[in-house]
Chains A and B, each alone.
Chain A
Amino acid sequence: MISFLFFSIRRAWQGFWRNALMSMAATATMVLMLLLLAGFFIIQAGLLAGLQFTEQKVEVVAYLESTATDAQVASLQAKIEAMPEVDTVTYITRDVALQRFREQMKAQGREDLTQALDSNPLYASLEVKLVDPSAIRVVGDALRGEQVVRNVINIEALVDRVLTVTNVLRTAGTVLLLVVGIIALFIIVNTIRLAVVARAEEIEIMRLVGASDAFIRWPFVFEGAFVGFLGAAITLAVLAAAAEPLNAFMVDFFRVLPLQMGSMTRDIVTLVVGTGVGLGILGSWLSVRTYLIR
């Protein structure tokens, strides 16, 4: 068993180098396909993060009656916070609202006309962030039913439209990634098939001298895995070299996206190595199989 393993690995290594041109072509194809796949994966991750960011912007704002007591507001806040659809509830007092308004005016370079007023004209409000923006109706209706709530800004229709767009984009992104994945699968498997077909005579001789199926198959499978691993390593090296400028661009482009670079790196390494080695093995296995089944 051990000597068989050594035999297969040694033969795989020889096979790779003795057919260097074919091996390089297969590896190059592997690298290009993996880069394509990883590229789309990164774009998809950026897209998802962007969509999530947009959806998080959706919040329900409920203005409160000026007559509401602190106790009433606190109990309402606790009640809304207890809803499973709700993420956080922030209480904006009238003073805070006025302060915000003044800051806005100042930022826009306008004159602060509120100075001229003798009292604060703004209402206090509850800003409710949602776990899932599609729950906006439930939360909005709950707020509307409350005594102390003066009115709730009606953005349900707008949110619906935004959600439709984000869902379409999300589905499109997934489909596109899937299509790229399938293309990569076919191209990689076919390239490896070419490399195996180029050695059909070797396989024929092996069969004629009485090599068992395992002795024919495994060296090719190991070779395919090796091509996949080499391709993945080169792809990751290219990605690592491109990561710094790419990252700067991404941050610049998407501003402050909640992209988790740590888990993203892990996902990409898993994707690239898994796809490379997996397809290398699959391609060799399928290609050799056509010669063994007779």
Chain B
Amino acid sequence: MTIAPAPSTARSLRRRILDRGGRDQAVPDRAVLVLHDVTKRYPNGKIALRDIDLVIPEGDFVFLVGPSGAGKSTLIKLLIRDEIATRGDVVLDGQDLARLPRRQVPRMRRKIGIIFQDFKLLPTKTVWENVAFALEVTGYPRRQIRPAVDQVLAIVGLSAQAKQTPNQLSGGEQQRTAIARALVHDPRLIIADEPTGNLDPLISWEILQLLLRINELGVTVLMATHNAEVVTALRKRVVALEEGRIIRDEVGGAYHRED
């Protein structure tokens, strides 16, 4: 039973805030995520993903779009190693997930911050405690938890709501709490699974602004969404899935095919 050495969240986040603007194009040759020839077949025979090739460089902002059942959720499950690819390689931050021993999985997950449509906050804990929870249960030294949590709450703009419980918050504030929790481990990749699915358009834009700002701080963001308006307006990289295949991967794309 070893306690993980503390990642220097506080310092590196601070440095990123100070450095922002100075690294608008992060190191381009370094890929956070590489999927090569990935196929996922479930035990019931259903093939959820076929021959997926995808490279996401560090600092990228990628929208993952496609109809329900296209394979978005399966793709995300592969990335957090909830599932293992039937064929092909999923390489996250230089680690082949299929070859990763089970005991190493928790440490790998700390490199990923994940955000859900339903927030997944603990109702009995305050905003502050929900964020601190992520550090506590990963063996982070107690005295370093407070500054780290305070810092991410400041980034998402929830310092004033720190002592409230999730049910006292609006949907947008709850999602910001979830984002703070995803950020607190200083992840290399933020995976957002329909983060605006439960929010009204105005609040959705607020969340998007926040994710863009985090992306500017150098964190790679992969966002699965059905929100066509947002995708089309932002002109970021768009990866479209359909029936388990990538049917489109274009930088500066719209939600729907434009040609």
In this complex, how many residues of chain A approach chain B with their Cβ under 8 Å: the count is 23
* A209 x B185 contact (CB < 8 A): yes
Q: Separation in Å of the A25 CB from the closest CB of chain B? A: 17
* A212 x B138 contact (CB < 8 A): yes
Inter-chain contacts of B142 with A (CB < 8 A)? 3
* A208 x B120 contact (CB < 8 A): yes
* A215 x B120 contact (CB < 8 A): no
Report the Cα distance A183→B238, complex, angstroms: 58
CB of A207 closer than 8 Å to a CB of B: yes
CB of A130 closer than 8 Å to a CB of B: no
Tell me the residues in window 182-230 of chain A with beta carbons closer than 8 Å to chain B beta carbons: 201-202, 204-216
CB of B199 closer than 8 Å to a CB of A: no
* A210 x B122 contact (CB < 8 A): no
Q: Separation in Å of the B139 CB from the closest CB of chain A? A: 6
Inter-chain contacts of A7 with B (CB < 8 A)? 136, 139
* B106 x A213 contact (CB < 8 A): yes
Residue of B whose beta carbon sits closest to that of A19:
B124
Inter-chain contacts of A213 with B (CB < 8 A)? 103, 106
Residue of A whose beta carbon sits closest to that of B110:
A210
Inter-chain contacts of B3 with A (CB < 8 A)? 3-4
Q: Report if A209-B138 is in contact (Cβ < 8 Å); known contacts: A3-B3, A4-B3, A214-B1.
A: yes
* B1 x A210 contact (CB < 8 A): no
B1, B108, B110, B141: the one contacting A209 at CB < 8 Å is: B110
Tell me the residues in window 225-264 of chain A with beta carbons closer than 8 Å to chain B beta carbons: none
Inter-chain contacts of A210 with B (CB < 8 A)? 106-110, 112, 134, 138, 185
Report the Cα distance A180→B142, complex, angstroms: 45
Residue of B whose beta carbon sits closest to that of A199:
B122
Report the Cα distance A207→B138, complex, angstroms: 10
CB of A1 closer than 8 Å to a CB of B: yes
Tell me the residues in window 1-29 of chain B with beta carbons closer than 8 Å to chain A beta carbons: 1, 3-4
Best-buried of A19, A205, A207, A216 by chain B (most CB within 10 Å): A205
Tell me the residues in window 173-208 of chain B with beta carbons closer than 8 Å to chain A beta carbons: 181, 185
Residue of A whose beta carbon sits closest to that of B109:
A210
Q: Report if A208-B80 is in contact (Cβ < 8 Å); known contacts: A201-B122, A202-B122, A214-B1.
A: yes
Interface mask (A122-152 → B, CB under 8 Å = 1, otherwise 0): 0000000000000000000000000000000
Interface mask (A165-187 → B, CB under 8 Å = 1, otherwise 0): 00000000000000000000000
Report the Cα distance A239→B136, complex, angstroms: 40
B82, B112, B124: the one contacting A294 at CB < 8 Å is: B82
B110, B114, B139: the one contacting A4 at CB < 8 Å is: B139
Report the Cα distance A54→B105, complex, angstroms: 65
* A1 x B1 contact (CB < 8 A): yes
Report the Cα distance A294→B105, complex, angstroms: 11
CB of A18 closer than 8 Å to a CB of B: yes
Report the Cα distance A207→B120, complex, angstroms: 12
Report the Cα distance A206→B110, complex, angstroms: 11
Inter-chain contacts of B133 with A (CB < 8 A)? 205-206, 209
Q: Separation in Å of the A195 CB from the closest CB of chain B? A: 14
Q: Separation in Å of the B251 CB from the closest CB of chain A? A: 29
CB of B160 closer than 8 Å to a CB of A: no
Q: Report if A209-B139 is in contact (Cβ < 8 Å); known contacts: A4-B3, A294-B82.
A: no
* A205 x B120 contact (CB < 8 A): yes
Report the Cα distance A7→B137, complex, angstroms: 9
Tell me the residues in window 186-232 of chain B with beta carbons closer than 8 Å to chain A beta carbons: none
* B139 x A18 contact (CB < 8 A): no
* A209 x B134 contact (CB < 8 A): yes
Q: Separation in Å of the A219 CB from the closest CB of chain B? A: 9
* B137 x A18 contact (CB < 8 A): no
Report the Cα distance A208→B82, complex, angstroms: 9
* A209 x B122 contact (CB < 8 A): no
Inter-chain contacts of B181 with A (CB < 8 A)? 209
Residues of B within 8 A of A (CB): 1, 3-4, 80, 82, 103, 106-110, 112, 114, 120, 122, 124, 133-134, 136-139, 141-142, 181, 185
Q: List 9 A-B contacts (CB under 8 A).
A: A7-B136, A201-B122, A202-B122, A209-B134, A209-B185, A210-B110, A211-B106, A212-B4, A212-B139
14 other contacts beyond A18-B124, A205-B134, A215-B138, with CB at 8 A cut-off? A19-B124, A205-B120, A205-B133, A206-B133, A209-B137, A210-B107, A210-B108, A211-B106, A212-B103, A212-B107, A213-B103, A213-B106, A215-B106, A216-B137
